[in-house]
Amino acid sequence: MRCFVAIRPTEDALDRLQALQREIPAARLPPRENLHLTLSFLDDLDDALLAALHERLEAIRQPAFDVTFRGVDLFPGKAPKILYAAIRPDPALLALHGAVRRAAETVGIGLKRERYRPHVTLGRFNRPPGGLDADRLGAFLAVNAMLGGGFAVSGFSLFRSELGGGPARHTELACYPLGSVSEV
């Protein structure tokens, strides 16, 4: 089963992200229910690994925190395929990301060694936009380069992702609440 661990933005943040999506030219837009901040992509897991990971994720203790947007951007490089809302890599977010990675590695899940770039994917391109769409995308990026604000993070979730026949379908398998400072 294809799985990942992520933070679901608050309803207010989702409203704001969807408003941004409506301005993006020539992109495939993930539906509202698919907007998330990935902590770790796990790829395919069997039931035994999934159960072991679930136990490790339940054991993570960390206070709730806030995340902050830091603009919109594209990646990768010269032929961008993804437009995203960047998230400031604050210490609390990085600590949670690290705890999730350690939980996965402890149960034997091999993870790619990549630099963590916290973001919420807003749109995807089959090929880089050209002509008028490129101009509109450039204007969109310029206007939203300083996107600020953010949302409160009170927990994180384990999701299953199913591909085929349209956008991916994400199903929440488990939710793990974060605590107050006094509870941790």
Do 173 and 184 meet the contact criterion of CB atoms below 8 Å apart? no
Q: How many CB atoms lie within 10 A of CB 59?
A: 11
Please report, in tens digits, the pLDDT of each residue of the chain (184 residues total).
Answer: 889 999 999 999 999 999 999 999 889 999 999 999 999 999 889 999 999 999 999 999 999 999 999 999 998 777 788 999 999 999 999 999 999 999 999 999 988 888 899 999 999 998 877 888 889 999 999 999 888 899 999 999 999 988 877 778 899 999 999 986 555 4
Do 89 and 128 meet the contact criterion of CB atoms below 8 Å apart? no
**pLDDT value at residue 10:** 98
Place of tokens 């992509």: 41
Active site residues: 36, 119
2-177: CATH topology: Cyclic Phosphodiesterase; Chain: A, (3.90.1140)
**pLDDT value at residue 112:** 83
Residues 6+ apart with CB under 8 A from 97: 39, 40, 116, 118
Q: Is 27 helix (H, G, I), strand (E, B) or coil?
A: coil
**For the whole model, what pTM was predicted?**
0.91
Do 81 and 125 meet the contact criterion of CB atoms below 8 Å apart? yes
**pLDDT value at residue 43:** 80
Residues 6+ apart with CB under 8 A from 28: 123, 124, 125, 126, 167
Closest CA to 168 of 42, 28, 57, 73: 28
**pLDDT value at residue 118:** 98
**pLDDT value at residue 181:** 52
Q: Where are the domains of the chain?
A: 2-177
**pLDDT value at residue 124:** 92
